[in-house]
Amino acid sequence: MFSSRSLTTVFILITQTKVFAQSAVTCSDIETETTLDFQDATVSESTLQKKTGKLQFDNVGSYNEGGVITPLNLVVKQVGKKNYTPGNVTQNRKSGDFGMINIDSNDGEGTFDFCFVDSEDKPKTLDAFFFSFYDLDGPKKGLESVELKLKDFTAYYVSTNSSIDIKKKENNKKIKFTATESGTGDDNPDDRNNLSSLQQDRSVVFQMEDVDCFQVKLSSKCNKTNKKCKGGRNFLFAGKASQIVPMCEPTPFPTVQPTKGPTKFPTTEPTPAPTKKPTKSPTTEPKPAPTKKPTKSPTKKPKPAPTKKPTSSPTASPTSVPTASPTSSPTSSLSNSPTVRLTNSPTTNPTSSLTTNPTSSPTTKPTNPSPTKEPNPAPTKEPTPAPTKKPKPSPTKEPTKREPVAPPTKAREGVDPGVAGDPHFKTWAGESYDFHGVCDLVLLKNTIFQNGLGLTIHIRTSRMLSWSFVSVVALRIGEDILEVIGGEEEDNFWINEVKGRNKEVGSKNDEMALVSTLSGYPVYYKEVNSQHREFEIVLGGTEKIKIGTWHSFVRIHLENAKSDHFGKSMGLMGSFSEGVTLARDNVTVLDEFNAFGSEWQVLHSEPKLFRVVEGPQHPTQCEIPSSLALRRRLADSTISLVDARKACADVQEDAFDLCLFDVLATNDEMTAGAY
């Protein structure tokens, strides 16, 4: 019962294979206890680039211990003397069936501890499980490798025609798996249990036992014969690759001789012979799962949960909380005291004294012929007969008689508000400001766009060393969402969580190609080169939303926006009519930009537009660097002002100074391409 492309684990019998095995656990035992599946996992923190940071995947699987299922989380942290060198930290995330860590293609590396914890972050030692690495290949000038300590696993599996080179190191204490073939994004796996022959040949599966942590070194070697390797390499990992691990022959039923000890889990049918010793005393009721040890005596106290059937006689005293539904027949006498909670509807007669809490719905008539001294928590259905002495906390239904400050603009021609670079924001008034907080932010929110269809733009900022940038944009019109991620991945956009295929678009002659629509609005795409891609969402005529990527940077701005689409919009671009930096209450003006930026962090109560949860999430506040850190990174730049000016020579005048700042801050002349 072996797959045609899999290998046996018995090293003694088949010595010409590349399998290493010293396991006492059979393959049939393993995934009955521990199952790893990243499909439903979420990323609760992605700060692996920090020395003390981590990449945490929640709900990566479960551990079955005596019938008790424990959810598992996976925490990855940096270890070792050398610092982790990423190519694109935004790629440290979950991707479909897989977890993913990005390594700089130019001789980048990182050594990590992979540790399993429970929901309370307590270490969890697993009896036996499989852990796999996939898509070990490389660019044309470099190759990926994975290195583990021999003591951390009991067996490994590769396909018969594996393209992976396997060598032991450091007096047989470590083993290194190195790719020998180059690859592209087109051959990346989508399903760990449905691998092509090529994908199987580039995967390795490890069998591990009695571990809570294991150490892995990931590296990408660059062959510098011509130029340096650019970008980063994504290392994919997940649980068992079923096509590579051999299947086991089932044992005959029943076994010829009894086992030396009890099985770890209950059998599906009764054993052919009784147990040697009965339990010390009978249980009062059958348990849903067998107990690990016999109970000493039946329980003396009632269960905390209600019984499934009514009691044979009435209770001695009333229940502490009202029942969900009325009794089937009336009670024989009145209750001793009034109910503690509010009734769902008003009583037929007025109460003799004041109630302790307000009624759940408004009364049919006003309480007094004059207004109340303080505003009601909810608006009254009809206006009070006399004016209130204080202004109301919410806006009035009718506009004030005062003339507006300025007539509303019909279109924002030439302003192009949005965000780009490190990151620099431009308001509807054309004024620029910086906010370096790392978190998810609301760039624009307009619930009445197109007669209530709604338009929302969220951005995700990430940190690279000592500077930050916009790494992901998610734009929703109606119920449709476009998500664009920076980086050199060939497929870097999703529409309604379905990955777009850049190569299938095939834009030619610098023309934009139609890739999809968002609630009827066309989405166009063009790949300028492998580092530069552009998207356009056409709202009508010359009115557009433009999204561009340059390496890891993502920029977004609006062209010729009109008041009928954006007149009531809010967010980090301020108010449409005046460009004022308004808070969420649409009244308070926040002149301090860190306060304004933090005000528009995506709240936990707002819809989540991004596929993957990463970075600080509300109520955790945005990570804002100190002003000292911002000054220090400029002082540490090795690029001269003259070189920075040359790099930004082709940038438009209104963005020239911002480009200079980013080139000096990132210490990278290529940053100018983000403009």
Same domain, 617 and 495: yes
Same domain, 657 and 522: no
Please say if the pLDDT value at position 194 is more than 80.
yes
The confidence score (pLDDT) of residue 206 equals 93
Is 24 part of a structural domain of the chain? yes
Same domain, 537 and 675: no
Q: In whole angstroms, what is the distance from residue 61 CA to residue 262 CA?
A: 26
Q: Which of 176, 209, 238 is the last residue of a domain?
A: 238
**What single-letter DSSP state applies at residue 392?**
-
How distant is the alpha carbon of residue 123 from its chain centre? 22
Give percent above pLDDT 90 in the chain.
37
Give the end-to-end CA distance of the chain in Å, rounded to a whole number: 58
Tokens of 73: 């989380």
The confidence score (pLDDT) of residue 535 equals 92
Is 299 part of a structural domain of the chain? no
Same domain, 503 and 596: yes
Query: Which residues on adjacent β-strands are paired with residue 114?
Result: 76, 214
Same domain, 578 and 652: no
Local confidence band at 328 (pLDDT 50, 70, 90 cut-offs) = low
Same domain, 597 and 641: no
Torsion 574-578-584-590 (CA) sign: positive
The confidence score (pLDDT) of residue 336 equals 46
Higher pLDDT, 100 or 277: 100
Please say if the pLDDT value at position 208 is more than 70.
yes
Q: CB–CB of 41/35 below 8 Å?
A: no
Please say if the pLDDT value at position 437 is more than 70.
yes
Name the residue among 473, 455, 595 with its Cα closest to residue 539: 455
Distances from the Cα of 409 to the Cα of 283, 358, 567, 577, angstroms:
79, 45, 9, 6
The vertex-180 CA angle with 179 and 184, nearest 5°, equals 75
Q: CB–CB of 44/613 below 8 Å?
A: yes
Q: Which of 182, 205, 238 is the last residue of a domain?
A: 238
Is 284 part of a structural domain of the chain? no
Same domain, 550 and 643: no
When pLDDT is averaged across residues 61-87 and rounded to a whole number, the result is 89
Is 616 part of a structural domain of the chain? yes
How distant is the alpha carbon of residue 138 from its chain centre? 26
Q: Which of 238, 256, 283 is the last residue of a domain?
A: 238
pLDDT digits (tens, 9 = 90+) for 372-390: 445 554 454 555 444 544 5
The confidence score (pLDDT) of residue 472 equals 94
Is 503 part of a structural domain of the chain? yes
Residue with tokens 């009965």: 278
How distant is the alpha carbon of residue 582 from its chain centre? 29
Tokens of 376: 């009601």
Q: Which residues, other chains included, contact 166 with Cβ-Cβ below 8 Å and sequence gap of 6+?
A: 18, 158, 175, 176, 177, 178
**Range among 142-156, 363-377, 655-669 with highest mean pLDDT value:** 142-156
Is 370 part of a structural domain of the chain? no
The alpha-carbon radius of gyration of the chain (Å, integer) is 32
The confidence score (pLDDT) of residue 421 equals 80
Same domain, 582 and 665: no
The confidence score (pLDDT) of residue 440 equals 96
Q: In whole angstroms, what is the distance from residue 578 CA to residue 593 CA?
A: 17
The confidence score (pLDDT) of residue 344 equals 47
Is 401 part of a structural domain of the chain? no
Name the residue among 188, 86, 71 with its Cα closest to residue 124: 71
Sheet with 424-426: list strands edge to edge. Answer: 432-434, 424-426, 418-420, 553-559, 543-550, 532-540, 521-529, 513-518
Same domain, 462 and 577: yes
Tokens of 653: 């005048």
Q: Which residues, other chains included, contact 662 with Cβ-Cβ below 8 Å and sequence gap of 6+?
A: 421, 422, 424, 467, 671, 672, 674
Residue with tokens 């259905």: 381
Q: In whole angstroms, what is the distance from residue 158 CA to residue 241 CA?
A: 10
Please say if the pLDDT value at position 397 is more than 70.
no
Same domain, 533 and 659: no
How many other CB atoms sit within 10 Å of the CB of residue 541? 9
Q: What 3-state DSSP class applies to 144?
A: strand
Give percent above pLDDT 70 in the chain.
61
Higher pLDDT, 150 or 289: 150
The confidence score (pLDDT) of residue 669 equals 73
Domain with 675 in it: 626-675
Q: In whole angstroms, what is the distance from residue 131 CA to residue 352 CA?
A: 71
- Contacts from 169-177 at CB under 8 Å and sequence distance 24+? 173/149, 174/147, 174/148, 174/149, 174/150, 175/20, 175/147, 175/148, 175/150, 176/145, 176/146, 176/147, 177/133, 177/136, 177/145, 177/146, 177/147, 177/204
Strands (E) in 3-54, as ranges, are 20-21, 34-36, 42-46
Q: CB–CB of 222/104 below 8 Å?
A: no
Tokens of 547: 């999204």
Q: How many domains does the chain fold into?
A: 3
Same domain, 42 and 76: yes
Same domain, 671 and 561: no
Q: How many residues does the chain have?
A: 675
Over the chain, what is the mean pLDDT? 75
Q: One-letter amino acid identity for 350?
A: P
Residue with tokens 């959810």: 71
Please say if the pLDDT value at position 242 is more than 70.
yes
Q: In whole angstroms, what is the distance from residue 525 CA to residue 482 CA?
A: 12
How distant is the alpha carbon of residue 181 from its chain centre? 31
Is 393 part of a structural domain of the chain? no
When pLDDT is averaged across residues 249-266 and rounded to a whole number, the result is 49
pLDDT digits (tens, 9 = 90+) for 620-642: 999 987 655 555 455 555 667 77
Please say if the pLDDT value at position 459 is more than 80.
yes
